[in-house]
Amino acid sequence: MDVEYTLRMIPSSSPPFDLGFIATRPLHRFLASRPTLNTVLAGLNTVFVGMQMVYIIWTFLIEGRPRATISALFMFTCRGILGYATQLPLPEDFLGSGADFPVGNVSFFLFYSGHVAASVIASLDMKRMQRWKLAYLFDTLNVLQAIRLLSTRGHYTIDLAVGVGAGILFDSLAGKYEESRKKELFADSPNGTSNDVFQNSQTHENGEYLSVSSH
């Protein structure tokens, strides 16, 4: 309440106030004076985005586990709706690059960060599968990605923070969606009650299915 009643609002003629931008001012100046390095880092970040997408699609097409893919579909659908409903202006000192994602320096939604959210979704799936080293690698790259996005003014701090929350939220919703679909299939099974079928298809924490004989 103290913050609510004492904080002075930013005038409409002024750019937004962002602590993340203030913290990354030295990096912003450094990249602004080195456009080639900025493009290299943008390209590397795009490679990381590609790694996220490849992993998420791999879990569905190769491993037969749709949760991460469902989560990403939920996340990007919501992001598209919110990004269209409230269109935020690009920061004046945005450092764009043709190598950045979306490739070609085309328009993109600021709120919320799909870069961060997709990385969180992939990391959570890796941890469920106990792929700890890969998960920690993705978490580290996600932090570096967030620093770069702040430094280039490609996202506001709130976009990144909500991106983390969105990844966690939609992963959870995808899990609940999977459970509800399984219950519907079990209920419609002609071989017995939903409980009988559920006991015959228990799922391990690592995502593999165990066959359990019914009694």
Cβ contacts of residue 21 below 8 Å, gap of 6+?
28, 91, 150, 153, 156, 157
Catalytic residue among 100, 115, 125, 171: 115
Q: What tokens does 184 get?
A: 């519907």
**E strand or H helix at 210, and its extent?**
strand 209-210
Catalytic residue among 28, 100, 125, 155: 155
Residue 71: Cβ within 10 Å count? 30
Establish whether 115 is a catalytic residue.
Answer: yes
Catalytic residue among 159, 171, 188, 215: 159
Determine the Cα–Cα distance for residues 143 and 214; give it in Å rounded to an integer.
47
Determine the Cα–Cα distance for residues 76 and 84; give it in Å rounded to an integer.
12
CB 74 within 8 A of CB 170: yes
Determine the Cα–Cα distance for residues 28 and 36; give it in Å rounded to an integer.
14
Residues with active-site annotation:
115, 155, 159
